[in-house]
Structure 1
Amino acid sequence: MTPINRILLVDDDAVTNLMHTRIIRKSGKAAHIDVATDGLQALELIKSDLAAARALPELVFLDINMPRMGGFEFLEEYAKLGLPVGEQLIIVMLSTSLLHADHARAEADPHVHSFSDKPLRTEKLLEVIAEYQRLHGRGADAA
């Protein structure tokens, strides 16, 4: 499986971001890792990439509860960007929330690939990267 270019971590917890960064680096499956501490910062990063015609992060691991702009608010604003289907990011919501309503809301959002409990585990990371590569024709044999 070839590495992807960028992963964006969106979480207000510094320890969680550090732990997830280590898991991703240890996997060797991403060339770059960006970190945003809330949905607004993540949205600004994506808009900046679009304005500069830079490649967007392929994967986003998104927390639900954050200051300024939480995960669900981020999703609402992300939808307004109107990215073509081929350019849309794979977004995985990560949360410690036990609320069924949060799980159901995430699963109902067309921009959310999946919902997973924190912390991010290596198996989930590899599963999502493999799915991204399958969807974009970059399977294990692609160079």
Structure 2
Amino acid sequence: MNVMSKIENSCIIDDDPISVYGIKRTMKKVNFSKTVVVYNNGQDAINGVKAMVAAGEIIPSVIFLDLNMPVMDGWEFLEDFMKIPNANTDNVTIFIISSSVNPEDIIRARSYKFVNNYIVKPVESNDLIQLLADYKSS
């Protein structure tokens, strides 16, 4: 199924190259977004978003965030992301992608206002099609 892409920029923050490859491939298959930026940890992503804001660029409207990463994990990213000045984070939707099925992680993730959903890896085409449908209706 090829859904018309509504999303300009998206971002994947994940340290697992196999997972990133799979998500990018699935995103391409369903025409999820026009551009995809990839960061290997939360710190690189925070630095990247800050650089985009400083340059007056539009930050990704959708972020796929892994929780367990070196340097800065997904939880730390969420805390720092909320504090980026002038980033217009209200227009960003974050989807947690994790291999963790721990109910505490799911509840904690949903406590953040801009976390829209929690997806247990691997991310499938149907997951992205549903996310696109939900995104378009919001």
The one-letter code matched in structure 2 to 1:124 is D
Residue 127 of structure 1 aligns to which amino acid in structure 2? Q
Change (3 A) 1:51 1:72: same
TM-score normalised by length of structure 1: 0.86
Unaligned stretches of 5+ in structure 2?
none
Equivalence for 1:103: 106
Query: 2: CA distance between counterparts of 1:66 and 1:60?
Result: 15
Q: Does 2:32 align with 1:8? A: no
Match of 2:128 in 1: 125
Aligned to 1:6, the other structure's residue is in SS state strand
CA distance in 2, matches of 1:52, 1:131: 30
Preserved CA contact (<8 Å) 2:29 2:125? no
Unaligned runs of 5+ in 1: 136-143
SS in 2 for 1:61: strand
44, 47, 52: which one aligns with 1:44: 47
Pick the aligned partner of 1:79 from 82, 94, 97.
82
* Aligned pairs, number: 134
Q: Quick check: 1:12–1:38 contact (8 Å CA) kept in 2?
A: yes
Equivalent of residue 65 in structure 1, options 62, 65, 68: 68
Map Cα deviations across residues 36-89 of structure 1 (whole Å, 9 max, x no partner).
00111111111111111111111101000000110010000011125446x431
After superposition, the CA RMSD in angstroms is: 1.6
Alignment identity in percent?
A: 28
Distance 1:127 1:48 in 2: 31
